[in-house]
Protein backbone atom coordinates (compact mmCIF):
# COMPACT_ATOMS: atom_id res chain seq x y z
CA UNK A 1 0.00 0.00 0.00
CA UNK A 2 1.40 3.38 -0.98
CA UNK A 3 0.84 6.41 1.17
CA UNK A 4 2.28 9.65 2.40
CA UNK A 5 2.45 10.46 6.08
CA UNK A 6 2.38 14.13 6.95
CA UNK A 7 3.66 16.32 9.73
CA UNK A 8 2.90 20.07 9.95
CA UNK A 9 4.44 22.51 12.41
CA UNK A 10 5.22 26.25 12.32
CA UNK A 11 4.37 26.57 8.64
CA UNK A 12 6.58 23.67 7.64
CA UNK A 13 5.26 20.45 6.16
CA UNK A 14 7.18 17.18 6.15
CA UNK A 15 5.74 14.45 3.92
CA UNK A 16 7.16 10.95 4.21
CA UNK A 17 6.64 8.07 1.82
CA UNK A 18 8.10 4.80 3.13
CA UNK A 19 9.26 2.49 0.35
CA UNK A 20 8.07 -0.84 1.68
CA UNK A 21 7.38 -2.55 -1.62
CA UNK A 22 10.23 -4.51 -3.19
CA UNK A 23 8.98 -3.59 -6.66
CA UNK A 24 9.29 0.12 -5.99
CA UNK A 25 12.79 -0.10 -4.53
CA UNK A 26 13.84 -2.18 -7.52
CA UNK A 27 12.38 0.39 -9.91
CA UNK A 28 14.13 3.33 -8.25
CA UNK A 29 17.34 1.71 -7.02
CA UNK A 30 17.72 -1.62 -8.85
CA UNK A 31 17.81 -3.21 -5.42
CA UNK A 32 15.35 -5.20 -3.30
CA UNK A 33 15.81 -3.02 -0.22
CA UNK A 34 13.01 -4.74 1.72
CA UNK A 35 14.56 -8.19 1.41
CA UNK A 36 17.97 -6.76 2.32
CA UNK A 37 16.83 -4.95 5.48
CA UNK A 38 17.28 -1.42 4.21
CA UNK A 39 14.58 1.13 5.02
CA UNK A 40 14.14 3.73 2.30
CA UNK A 41 11.99 6.79 2.82
CA UNK A 42 11.16 9.51 0.35
CA UNK A 43 10.97 12.80 2.22
CA UNK A 44 9.58 16.11 1.01
CA UNK A 45 9.90 19.24 3.12
CA UNK A 46 7.94 22.41 2.26
CA UNK A 47 8.43 25.73 3.96
CA UNK A 48 5.10 27.55 3.87
CA UNK A 49 5.98 29.95 6.65
CA UNK A 50 6.34 33.68 6.20
CA UNK A 51 9.86 34.94 6.71
CA UNK A 52 11.41 31.89 8.35
CA UNK A 53 14.32 29.94 6.90
CA UNK A 54 14.89 26.43 8.21
CA UNK A 55 17.97 24.26 8.26
CA UNK A 56 17.22 20.74 7.05
CA UNK A 57 19.91 18.16 7.85
CA UNK A 58 19.77 14.41 7.29
CA UNK A 59 21.55 13.83 10.58
CA UNK A 60 18.43 15.07 12.34
CA UNK A 61 16.16 12.42 10.83
CA UNK A 62 15.75 9.35 13.02
CA UNK A 63 13.70 6.21 12.62
CA UNK A 64 12.23 4.95 15.86
CA UNK A 65 10.81 1.43 16.15
CA UNK A 66 7.49 1.06 17.99
CA UNK A 67 7.86 1.08 21.73
CA UNK A 68 11.27 2.71 21.69
CA UNK A 69 12.03 5.91 23.56
CA UNK A 70 11.02 8.79 21.28
CA UNK A 71 13.03 11.34 23.23
CA UNK A 72 15.27 13.09 20.70
CA UNK A 73 18.21 12.83 23.04
CA UNK A 74 17.76 9.08 23.49
CA UNK A 75 19.86 6.87 21.29
CA UNK A 76 19.39 3.29 22.49
CA UNK A 77 16.91 1.70 20.14
CA UNK A 78 17.02 3.97 17.15
CA UNK A 79 17.71 2.51 13.75
CA UNK A 80 20.82 4.15 12.41
CA UNK A 81 20.67 6.26 9.31
CA UNK A 82 23.08 4.81 6.76
CA UNK A 83 25.95 7.23 6.71
CA UNK A 84 27.86 6.02 3.71
CA UNK A 85 25.44 3.71 1.90
CA UNK A 86 28.40 1.33 1.86
CA UNK A 87 26.29 -1.37 3.46
CA UNK A 88 24.70 -1.89 0.08
CA UNK A 89 27.96 -3.18 -1.31
CA UNK A 90 27.94 -5.85 1.37
CA UNK A 91 24.29 -6.63 0.68
CA UNK A 92 24.66 -6.95 -3.06
CA UNK A 93 28.10 -8.53 -2.79
CA UNK A 94 29.86 -10.49 -5.51
CA UNK A 95 27.54 -13.22 -6.71
CA UNK A 96 28.14 -16.29 -8.88
CA UNK A 97 31.70 -16.60 -10.10
CA UNK A 98 31.24 -15.88 -13.79
CA UNK A 99 29.19 -12.80 -13.19
CA UNK A 100 31.32 -11.57 -10.28
CA UNK A 101 32.63 -8.53 -12.14
CA UNK A 102 29.21 -7.68 -13.46
CA UNK A 103 27.83 -7.88 -9.94
CA UNK A 104 30.60 -5.64 -8.66
CA UNK A 105 29.86 -3.18 -11.42
CA UNK A 106 26.16 -3.34 -10.57
CA UNK A 107 26.79 -2.77 -6.86
CA UNK A 108 28.90 0.33 -7.55
CA UNK A 109 26.15 1.68 -9.78
CA UNK A 110 23.54 1.02 -7.08
CA UNK A 111 25.66 2.82 -4.52
CA UNK A 112 26.23 5.79 -6.85
CA UNK A 113 22.51 5.93 -7.55
CA UNK A 114 21.68 5.91 -3.82
CA UNK A 115 24.05 8.82 -3.26
CA UNK A 116 22.68 10.80 -6.19
CA UNK A 117 19.10 10.49 -4.91
CA UNK A 118 19.82 11.16 -1.23
CA UNK A 119 18.06 14.04 0.55
CA UNK A 120 20.47 16.99 0.52
CA UNK A 121 21.33 19.07 3.58
CA UNK A 122 20.19 22.62 2.92
CA UNK A 123 18.48 25.74 4.18
CA UNK A 124 14.89 26.09 3.10
CA UNK A 125 13.60 29.61 2.42
CA UNK A 126 9.91 30.59 2.66
CA UNK A 127 8.00 29.19 -0.29
CA UNK A 128 10.68 26.60 -1.11
CA UNK A 129 10.43 22.85 -0.96
CA UNK A 130 12.97 20.05 -1.24
CA UNK A 131 12.89 16.30 -1.54
CA UNK A 132 15.05 13.22 -1.58
CA UNK A 133 15.58 9.78 -0.08
CA UNK A 134 16.90 8.82 3.35
CA UNK A 135 18.22 5.33 4.11
CA UNK A 136 18.28 3.46 7.39
CA UNK A 137 19.80 0.10 8.28
CA UNK A 138 19.22 -2.41 9.62
CA UNK A 139 15.50 -3.14 9.63
CA UNK A 140 13.93 -6.56 9.74
CA UNK A 141 14.49 -8.27 6.41
CA UNK A 142 11.46 -8.99 4.28
CA UNK A 143 9.04 -7.23 6.64
CA UNK A 144 7.01 -4.05 6.38
CA UNK A 145 9.18 -2.13 8.87
CA UNK A 146 7.06 1.01 8.49
CA UNK A 147 4.09 -0.47 10.40
CA UNK A 148 5.99 -0.26 13.64
CA UNK A 149 8.07 2.85 13.15
CA UNK A 150 7.96 6.60 13.65
CA UNK A 151 10.13 9.15 11.90
CA UNK A 152 11.27 11.99 14.08
CA UNK A 153 13.09 15.08 12.95
CA UNK A 154 13.96 18.55 14.07
CA UNK A 155 14.36 21.59 11.83
CA UNK A 156 16.22 24.65 13.09
CA UNK A 157 15.19 28.19 12.24
CA UNK A 158 18.36 29.95 11.11
CA UNK A 159 17.79 33.35 12.75
CA UNK A 160 16.48 32.34 16.18
CA UNK A 161 18.05 28.85 16.35
CA UNK A 162 14.65 27.64 17.54
CA UNK A 163 13.88 24.01 16.73
CA UNK A 164 10.65 22.72 15.28
CA UNK A 165 10.14 19.06 16.09
CA UNK A 166 8.20 16.51 14.09
CA UNK A 167 7.09 13.03 15.07
CA UNK A 168 5.49 11.21 12.15
CA UNK A 169 4.09 7.69 12.71
CA UNK A 170 4.57 5.71 9.52
CA UNK A 171 1.88 3.12 10.23
CA UNK A 172 -0.96 3.18 7.72
Partner 1 sequence: MKAYRPINQILSAVLLLALATGCVTYVRTVAVQQPVLPQGQVLPRHAVLVLDQSLADYQYVFKASGNTVIYPCGPALQNYARQVAKKCFQQVDEAPSIEKAVAFASADLILIPRPVKCDMSVPVWAWENVNMTMVVEWTAKDRASQNTLWLKTITATGSAAKNMGRSDLVMNQNVFDDLSLKTYNAIQEAPELK
Interaction site with partner 1 (CB under 8 A): 53, 55, 84, 93-98, 100-105, 108-109, 111-112, 115-116, 118, 120-123, 125, 158-159, 161
Residue positions counted in the chain:
172
Looking at the Cβ atoms of 55 and 68, the one nearer to partner 1 is 55
Looking at the Cβ atoms of 13 and 118, the one nearer to partner 1 is 118
What minimum distance in Å lies between the beta carbon of 68 and partner 1?
29
Looking at the Cβ atoms of 148 and 158, the one nearer to partner 1 is 158
Looking at the Cβ atoms of 3 and 94, the one nearer to partner 1 is 94
What minimum distance in Å lies between the beta carbon of 54 and partner 1?
10
Cβ-based neighbours of 29, under 8 Å, separated by 6 or more: 40, 110, 113, 114, 117
Three-state DSSP string of 28-65: HHCCCCCCCCCEEEEEEEEECCCCCCEEECHHHCEEEE
Amino acid sequence: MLGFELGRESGVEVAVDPFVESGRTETYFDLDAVANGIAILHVRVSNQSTGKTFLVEKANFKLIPKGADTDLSGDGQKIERSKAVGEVLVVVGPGPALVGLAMMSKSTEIERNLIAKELPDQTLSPGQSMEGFIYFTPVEKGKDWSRTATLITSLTETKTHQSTDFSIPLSH
